[in-house]
Amino acid sequence: MAVEPERRDRWIRSLAEGARQEVSAALGLLEGADDPGVKEAFRSVVAQLDQIHRELRDLA
């Protein structure tokens, strides 16, 4: 069963927005972190979420 293009696009935009919100939340946590290891781990997560956001946005 095929998904309607409009529904697919809404779903992709919703995923992209969710990824953007996760990036924003992770950046907020990163700013409050004192431990360099924690900061590096959050930077990695933020970079991955940012990449997902860009890829999803490009699909929409």
pLDDT of residue 8: 82
pLDDT of residue 1: 54
Dist. CA 37–CA 55, nearest whole Å:
27
pLDDT, one tens digit per residue, over 3-57 is: 688 888 888 888 878 877 877 887 777 777 778 887 788 778 778 878 887 887 7
Least Cα distance to 54 among 25, 6, 15, 16 occurs for 16
8 Å CB contact between 39 and 30: yes
Least Cα distance to 39 among 27, 22, 50 occurs for 27
8 Å CB contact between 23 and 46: yes
pLDDT of residue 31: 76
pLDDT of residue 48: 83
Output the pTM of the full model.
0.55
Termini Cα distance of the chain:
20
